[in-house]
Amino acid sequence: MSEKLQAVRGMNDILPDEAELWQRFEDTVTGCLKSYGYRNLRTPVVEPTQLFRRAIGEETDIVAKEMYSFTDRLNGEELTLRPEATASIVRAAIEHNLLYNGPQRVFSVGPMFRHERPQKGRYRQFYQVDAEALGFAGPDIDAELILLTARMWDDLGLTGIRLELNSLGSVAERSQHRRELIAYFTGHQTALDDDSRRRLQTNPLRILDSKNPAIQELIAGAPQLLDHLGADSLAHFDALQAMLHDSSIPYRINPRLVRGLDYYNLTVFEWITDRLGAQGTVCGGGRYDGLIEQLGGKPQPACGFAMGIERLIDLMRDAGEIAAPYLDAYIVHQGERATPLAFRTAEALRSGGFDVVLHCGGGGFKAQMKRADASGAHYAIIIGDDEAARGEVTLKTLRDERPQQRLAADTVAERLADLMIGPD
Ligand code: HAM
């Protein structure tokens, strides 16, 4: 026997039973995005490596350790499987002059790739819904993005997801804070762990993000960026908070929320749940006013977020959501005359908007009825040669004991429509 092959570690198959829930999730979320005027944009999964280096930052974990980068053997190009969507969307917006006619609200859904250590809620291929508001200076759009996510949780039937908020200020405010952080942590270098000592040279802000219990006290005493915000940054942050109050969206200010990508300024936020263990952040985002210029576009402000679909699907399952397969009818047929009538009937039903499986592969009535029962269909439509000769079919409910009925084949779509909307 040939050796069995397996999927790459950290990359999952989503089988039909689970995919039904994914479909429901995506329908709900894209419906919600549409109701806020967001339009779909799709970018390639592979981009020039340079794009992510410049956008996300050389010193971030993503760029330093997690990217699937390779040289295209055929032409020597340096390429990377996208680890996130924001850089690609900004690249596309610049390349196609998307902001020429004013600001744009766009969204994208698809797989991202990061070479992380796989565990529950953390994968090497994972899916994100990503929404970006390009060309808006906020803070109204920041508030709208947060309202939109809150509505999504509602529409998905999810509770217990809390909002954390912070402001990273301007570039100048951040570099002043950075100097103070370096001075503070340098004064306590012996108390730092290896990771944080390395970050002290490269990305001291990320030390604040450390989960190591041994250095939490040290972090708690570090200078806070919020104390360094100038009047403009404070006004932006205050206005956002006022809008959230006004919309009754509860939140907590977390001065240590710094995010793992370098492009942010001013508003950053995360939605977090305690129900998923260590990987509880289901959505993260913020403002990135410098990125469009940094990637070669005309300077334009922007703000956005991305949510991890696997984590949200886990939450939906946790909330008792199951997606039963849905099928209106299963057509059982046997005989030379029966089969063409079965095909015609199936097509007529599909034209009438019904979801129908036509039994394929032959077999006796009994075996076919077993398949019909297992399919989850509401009705079986049974066609034998005798019935076919009279242009008739038998309609049988699979969910209750109502008696089966004979009817003319060309009336079956109409009859099914009556039954579906009538009292069950
Ligand atoms: P991020 O925080 O890196 O932000 O990712 C957003 C979300 O993607 C996370 O909160 C999490 O739910 C999910 N996620 C990230 N890594 C994994 C993984 N390895 N396995 C499963 N889920 C994961 C961004 O990607 C930014 N582009 C968000 C953004 C958009 N900011 C502005 N616009």
Q: In what side-by-side order are the strands of the sheet with 405-408?
A: 356-358, 327-334, 377-384, 392-397, 405-408
Q: Residue 64: which residues within 8 A CB-CB, separation 6 or more?
A: 58
- Rg of the chain over CA atoms, in angstroms? 28
In this structure, is residue 54 part of a structural domain?
A: yes
Of 317, 326, 266, 312, residue with least CA distance to 290: 266
Q: Residue 30: which residues within 8 A CB-CB, separation 6 or more?
A: 40, 107, 109
Q: Contact, 286 vs 259, CB < 8 A?
A: yes
Q: Please indicate, yes or no, whether residues 161 and 68 belong to a single structural domain of this protein.
A: yes
Q: Which of 288, 318, 348 is the last residue of a domain?
A: 318
Does 311 sit in the ligand 1 pocket, CB within 6 Å?
yes
In this structure, is residue 345 part of a structural domain?
A: yes
Q: Please indicate, yes or no, whether residues 268 and 391 belong to a single structural domain of this protein.
A: no
Q: Which amino acid type is present at position 254?
A: N
- Specify the residue with its C-alpha closest to ligand 1, atom 17: 122
CATH code assigned at 410: 3.40.50.800
Q: Please indicate, yes or no, whether residues 309 and 339 belong to a single structural domain of this protein.
A: no
Q: Which of 318, 342, 358 is the last residue of a domain?
A: 318
Q: How many domains does the chain have?
A: 2
State the Cα–Cα distance between residues 187 and 176, nearest whole angstrom.
Answer: 17
Using CA of residue 20, residue 25, residue 31, residue 33, what is the dihedral sign? negative
State the Cα–Cα distance between residues 282 and 287, nearest whole angstrom.
Answer: 18
Q: Please indicate, yes or no, whether residues 376 and 253 belong to a single structural domain of this protein.
A: no
Q: Please indicate, yes or no, whether residues 309 and 368 belong to a single structural domain of this protein.
A: no
State the Cα–Cα distance between residues 249 and 146, nearest whole angstrom.
Answer: 9
Query: 6 CA to middle of ligand 1, Å?
Result: 26
Does 273 sit in the ligand 1 pocket, CB within 6 Å?
no
Q: Which residues of 73-87 are buried (b: 16+ CB within 10 A; e: fewer)?
A: eeeeeebbbbbbbbb
Q: Please indicate, yes or no, whether residues 28 and 90 belong to a single structural domain of this protein.
A: yes
Does 210 sit in the ligand 1 pocket, CB within 6 Å?
no
Query: 285 CA to middle of ligand 1, Å?
Result: 8
Does 66 sit in the ligand 1 pocket, CB within 6 Å?
no
Q: Contact, 379 vs 398, CB < 8 A?
A: yes
In this structure, is residue 192 part of a structural domain?
A: no
Q: What pLDDT is stored for residue 422 in this prediction? A: 57
In this structure, is residue 178 part of a structural domain?
A: no
In this structure, is residue 182 part of a structural domain?
A: no
Q: Please indicate, yes or no, whether residues 333 and 310 belong to a single structural domain of this protein.
A: no
Q: What pLDDT is stored for residue 424 in this prediction? A: 46
Measured from the CA of 130, which atom of ligand 1 is nearest?
30
In this structure, is residue 283 part of a structural domain?
A: yes
Q: Please indicate, yes or no, whether residues 338 and 313 belong to a single structural domain of this protein.
A: no
pTM above threshold 0.85: yes
Query: 226 CA to middle of ligand 1, Å?
Result: 24
Q: Please indicate, yes or no, whether residues 267 and 413 belong to a single structural domain of this protein.
A: no
Measured from the CA of 85, which atom of ligand 1 is nearest?
27
In this structure, is residue 214 part of a structural domain?
A: no
Residue for token pair 């599909």: 350
Of 112, 121, 116, 113, residue with least CA distance to 65: 116
Q: Residue 65: which residues within 8 A CB-CB, separation 6 or more?
A: 115
Q: Please indicate, yes or no, whether residues 52 and 155 belong to a single structural domain of this protein.
A: yes
Which of 25, 84, 209, 295 best tests ligand 1's pocket when mutated (most atoms within 8 Å of CB)?
84
Q: What pLDDT is stored for residue 99 in this prediction? A: 96
- Specify the residue with its C-alpha closest to ligand 1, atom 23: 308
Q: Please indicate, yes or no, whether residues 41 and 154 belong to a single structural domain of this protein.
A: yes
Q: Which of 289, 318, 347 is the last residue of a domain?
A: 318
Contacts 24+ apart (CB under 8 A), 186-194: 188/218, 191/215, 191/218, 192/218
Does 84 sit in the ligand 1 pocket, CB within 6 Å?
yes
Measured from the CA of 116, which atom of ligand 1 is nearest?
19
In this structure, is residue 9 part of a structural domain?
A: no
Segments forming the whole domain that contains residue 95: 16-169+229-318
Measured from the CA of 282, which atom of ligand 1 is nearest?
12
Tokens standing for residue 322: 């199951």
Q: What pLDDT is stored for residue 251 in this prediction? A: 98
Tokens standing for residue 232: 């403009």
**What angle in degrees, to the nearest 10, is found between the helix axes of 16-35 and 309-318?**
110
Q: Please indicate, yes or no, whether residues 250 and 101 belong to a single structural domain of this protein.
A: yes
Q: What pLDDT is stored for residue 348 in this prediction? A: 95
Tell me the pLDDT of the chain (424 aa) as tens digits. Answer: 889 999 999 999 999 889 999 999 999 999 999 999 999 999 999 999 999 999 999 988 999 999 999 999 999 999 999 999 999 999 999 999 999 989 999 999 999 999 999 999 999 999 999 999 999 998 999 999 999 999 999 999 999 999 999 999 998 998 888 889 899 999 998 888 888 888 888 888 888 878 888 888 888 899 988 888 999 999 999 999 999 999 999 999 998 898 989 999 999 999 999 998 888 999 999 999 999 999 999 999 999 999 999 999 999 998 888 777 789 999 999 999 999 999 999 999 999 999 999 999 999 999 999 999 999 899 999 999 999 999 999 999 998 888 899 999 999 999 999 887 654 4
State the Cα–Cα distance between residues 109 and 220, nearest whole angstrom.
Answer: 37
CATH code assigned at 165: 3.30.930.10
Query: 284 CA to middle of ligand 1, Å?
Result: 6
